[in-house]
């Protein structure tokens, strides 16, 4: 499924809110896709990213493992626990789950979320991180809602009884409509985190009172390193091919401000992506850097736009 980059990028986004709030630094990581082919290099990158950013809060945006079967594989389990403990030691850490964490087309038994979610609950508790399944994490200056995206939004059963990954934003929209966000608090930063960025107009409307919305899943829209920065300068947040096998997807990388007021950050993840894209794009994807995002949130009213800066370190 994945192949490791050999460089690390820390992408900085400065967000200035109009309310008088203490500054908070939030580091976003995710799409680790831990499996036997993911080496300790990723753990080294994560260590470096935390050392560079000194975050107040960490959010892991899902797809921690490449398949639920990794929860039964000792080597993968040890890698996962080390990285979760590394985050927990650095800052309060919120975790949301991605499709690879609890569903896969390969083995129908793994489509059932009952297979891996109890294991993730126990694992996150043991490692000292907070697994959010349509739940809030309340911290001193920030509160994070972690959304759980169920099977219907990320996978479907075909007529011949097989399962395939299939992005269905409408299902996610229906799930968000069931949630109660009436308790948003103006004296704190209100943050919404989910794995896959499904931006239907209705979803954006329902989340309009959140300060920040963050996602992963897209792997940057499978665009090689360098091109994504050029696109972002032109305020183009599209890609060449999405994780859901759609050509020229929109809103799959970087950060921007929605018209309704929420800032959006999409993390490109720690590994490249294979098989989801045409073969000609797969090799290009492998030269992307491993990426974390750092959101620096302050309350300087005179600035209303995000500004992005990037630093890169060779292995």
Whole-number Å distance between alpha carbons of 202 and 192? 15
Give whole-number Cα distances, 105 to 162, 221, 239, in Å.
Answer: 7, 21, 24
Whole-number Å distance between alpha carbons of 266 and 194? 10
Whole-number Å distance between alpha carbons of 141 and 98? 26
**The sheet that has 307-314: what strands, in order across it?**
130-131, 93-95, 57-60, 24-29, 290-298, 7-16, 307-314
Sign of CA dihedral 290, 137, 305, 201: positive
Determine contact, residues 121/171, Cβ cutoff 8 Å: no
Topology of 7-306 in CATH?
Purple Acid Phosphatase; chain A, domain 2 (3.60.21)
The predicted-structure confidence for 266-285, as pLDDT tens digits, reads as follows 999 998 777 777 887 777 77
Given a cut of 80, is residue 30 above it in pLDDT? yes
The predicted-structure confidence for 216-250, as pLDDT tens digits, reads as follows 999 888 887 677 777 777 778 888 888 777 888 88
pLDDT value for 108: 66
Mean local confidence (pLDDT), 112-141 = 94
Given a cut of 50, is residue 304 above it in pLDDT? no
Given a cut of 70, is residue 301 above it in pLDDT? no
| Residue partners of 303: CB distance under 8 A and separation at least 6 | 14, 16
Residue matched to tokens 């192949």? 3
Neighbours of 25 (CB within 10 A): 17
pLDDT value for 314: 37
Mean local confidence (pLDDT), 206-222 = 93
Asked which of 61-75, 84-98, 269-283 is least confident by mean pLDDT, the reply is 269-283
Given a cut of 50, is residue 315 above it in pLDDT? no
Given a cut of 80, is residue 28 above it in pLDDT? yes
Q: Which residue has the higher pLDDT, 120 or 227?
A: 120
Given a cut of 60, is residue 308 above it in pLDDT? no
Percent of the chain at pLDDT exceeding 90 = 57
Q: Domain ranges in the chain? A: 7-306
Given a cut of 60, is residue 69 above it in pLDDT? yes
């Amino acid at each position: 499924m994945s192949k490791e980059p050999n460089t690390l990028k820390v992408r900085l986004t400065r967000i200035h809110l109009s309310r008088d709030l203490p500054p908070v630094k939030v580091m976003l990581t995710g799409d680790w896709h831990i499996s036997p082919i993911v080496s300790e290099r990723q753990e080294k990158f994560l260590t470096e990213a935390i050392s560079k950013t000194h975050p107040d809060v960490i959010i892991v945006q899902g797809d921690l493992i490449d398949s639920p079967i990794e929860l039964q594989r000792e080597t993968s389990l040890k890698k996962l626990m080390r990285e979760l403990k590394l985050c927990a030691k650095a800052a309060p850490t919120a975790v949301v789950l991605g499709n690879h964490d609890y569903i896969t087309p390969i083995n129908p038994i793994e489509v059932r979320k009952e297979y891996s979610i109890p294991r993730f609950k126990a694992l996150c508790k043991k490692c000292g991180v907070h697994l959010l399944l349509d739940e809030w994490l309340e911290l001193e200056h920030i509160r994070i809602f972690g959304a759980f995206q169920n099977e219907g939004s990320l996978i479907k059963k075909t007529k011949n009884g097989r399962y395939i990954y299939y992005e269905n934003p409408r299902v996610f929209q229906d799930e968000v409509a069931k949630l109660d966000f009436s308790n948003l608090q103006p004296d704190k930063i209100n943050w919404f985190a989910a794995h896959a960025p499904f931006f239907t107009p209705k979803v954006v409307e329902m989340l309009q009172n959140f300060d920040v919305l963050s996602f992963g899943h897209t792997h940057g829209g499978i665009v090689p390193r360098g091109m994504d920065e050029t696109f972002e300068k032109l305020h183009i947040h599209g890609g060449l091919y999405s994780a859901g096998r759609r050509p020229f997807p929109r809103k799959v990388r970087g950060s921007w401000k929605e018209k309704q007021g929420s800032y959006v950050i999409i993390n490109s993840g720690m590994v490249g992506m294979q098989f989801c894209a045409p073969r000609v794009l797969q090799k290009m994807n492998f030269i992307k850097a491993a990426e974390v995002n750092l959101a620096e949130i302050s309350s300087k009213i005179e600035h209303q736009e995000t500004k992005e800066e990037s630093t890169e370190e060779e292995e």
